[in-house]
């Protein structure tokens, strides 16, 4: 049996690990378009803050893939041919085809960008990959004013980084709550007081501007200088980090025959609408406990989905563990939240 896994994040690795544990002779290949070994994506802030050294960011120790006889392929999957059971892969400018018996798509999701003038300036960053974390880490050492676009929990992680680098920080957030949707209304109030220094204990970390959209990134000599808001107000910005959400890339599914609607649609076995093709992690949408189709996009869920896909790809029937209501626990600044 030839298994092909697209994407080597926690979902893809969990698929590979599960197949190998159950099928010692099957062929397993895992493809990634990212440089370097797979890493703890959810710990990128701690990596930037030097709390986790680079060597501890790896999910698997050096040599693990060889020991497990799992082939690692560097390249970008361009298209999946679902009925032909093959993929089109681009490697160093050359396109090749790879066939499979079973495939799991675990390509994660990409940051959403803002389609407004100036969005291609070099100082407008996203925060998803190790390469972007390195960019952010370097950029923050030589600037004064950072603007965080999007005040969800990812945006709050960037505020923490700004505080560590003693930057002037402004957060732009739609609506009137921060930390949402993971944090509830009461939690959002506590978080806002902590961030703005209104808790009477901590100095302000950032100014938060609610409900004003962004009209334009303003530049000088092709470098970001300020941001014009829809109200007309201009704010100084040496760097902007866009944290307004993520979305699965639909491009590789276009001619695949796979059902895609905001994500690759899978069932409780992580199986798609096409025989032999599975999906796991941030790129999929599956029925939640209420029967609605929803993405969860957390680390542990991606791992559980990867394992579930792996068992089913081996022919061992396995249903996705019902986690109940969507759950997330972490901490922001010194505040623990669940």
Ligand X SMILES: Cc1cc2nc3c(=O)[nH]c(=O)nc-3n(C[C@H](O)[C@H](O)[C@H](O)COP(=O)(O)OP(=O)(O)OC[C@H]3O[C@@H](n4cnc5c(N)ncnc54)[C@H](O)[C@@H]3O)c2cc1C
CA–CA gap between residue 335 and residue 337 (Å, rounded): 6
Distances (CA, A) of 299 to 121, 281, 311, 334: 31, 8, 19, 21
Q: By CB under 6 A, tell whether 273 contacts ligand X.
A: no
Closer by beta carbon to ligand X, 77 or else 244: 77
Q: By CB under 6 A, tell whether 335 contacts ligand X.
A: no
DSSP secondary structure string, 87-131? EEEEETTEEEEEE-SEEEE----EEPPP-STTTTSTTEE--SSHH
Q: By CB under 6 A, tell whether 298 contacts ligand X.
A: yes
Distances (CA, A) of 36 to 8, 44, 126, 201, 233: 11, 15, 19, 42, 42
Q: By CB under 6 A, tell whether 256 contacts ligand X.
A: no
Which residues 178-207 are close enough to bind ligand X by CB under 6 A? none
Smallest distance, ligand X to C-beta of residue 232, A? 32
Q: By CB under 6 A, tell whether 11 contacts ligand X.
A: yes
Placement of tokens 């959002």 in the chain: 188
Closer by beta carbon to ligand X, 130 or else 195: 130
Which residues 27-86 are close enough to bind ligand X by CB under 6 A? 31-34, 41-42, 44-45, 76-77
Closer by beta carbon to ligand X, 128 or else 235: 128
Applying CB under 6 A, among 100, 217, 253, 299 the residue interacting with ligand X is 299
CA–CA gap between residue 124 and residue 111 (Å, rounded): 12
Residue 47 three-state SS: helix
Q: By CB under 6 A, tell whether 104 contacts ligand X.
A: no
Q: Where do contacts with ligand X occur on this chain (CB under 6 A)?
A: 6-12, 31-34, 41-42, 44-45, 76-77, 106-108, 127-128, 154, 157, 252, 281-282, 297-300, 302, 328, 330
């Amino acid at each position: 049996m030839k298994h092909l896994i697209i994407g080597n994040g926690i979902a893809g690795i969990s698929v590979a690990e599960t197949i190998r544990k159950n099928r010692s002779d099957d062929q397993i290949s895992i493809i990634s378009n990212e440089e370097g070994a797979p890493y703890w994506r959810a710990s990128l802030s701690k990596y930037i803050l030097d709390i986790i050294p680079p060597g501890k960011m790896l999910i698997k120790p050096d040599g693990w893939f060889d020991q497990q006889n799992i082939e690692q392929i560097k390249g970008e999957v361009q298209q999946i041919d679902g009925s032909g059971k093959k993929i089109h892969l681009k490697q160093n400018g050359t396109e090749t085809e790879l066939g499979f018996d079973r495939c799991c798509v675990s390509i994660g999701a990409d940051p959403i960008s803002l389609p407004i003038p100036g969005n291609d300036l070099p100082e407008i960053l996203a925060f998803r990959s190790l390469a972007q974390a390195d960019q952010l880490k370097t950029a923050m050492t030589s600037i004064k004013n950072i603007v965080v676009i999007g005040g969800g929990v990812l945006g709050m992680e960037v505020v923490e980084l700004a505080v560590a680098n003693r930057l002037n920080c402004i957060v732009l957030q739609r609506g009137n709550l921060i930390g949402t949707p993971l944090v509830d209304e009461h939690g959002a109030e506590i978080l806002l007081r902590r961030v703005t220094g209104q808790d009477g204990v901590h100095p302000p970390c950032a100014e938060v501007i609610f409900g004003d959209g962004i009209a334009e990134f303003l530049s000088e000599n092709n470098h970001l200088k300020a941001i014009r808001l829809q109200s007309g107000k201009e704010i100084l910005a040496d760097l902007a980090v866009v944290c307004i959400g993520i979305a699965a890339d639909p491009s590789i599914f276009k001619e695949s025959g796979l059902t895609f609607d905001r994500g690759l649609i899978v069932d409780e076995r992580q199986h798609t609408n096409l025989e032999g093709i599975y999906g796991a992690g941030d790129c999929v949408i599956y029925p939640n406990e209420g029967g609605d189709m929803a993405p969860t996009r957390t680390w542990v869920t991606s791992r559980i989905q990867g394992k579930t896909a792996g068992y089913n790809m081996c022919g061992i029937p396995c249903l996705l563990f019902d986690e109940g209501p969507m759950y997330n626990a972490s901490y922001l600044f010194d505040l623990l939240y669940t």
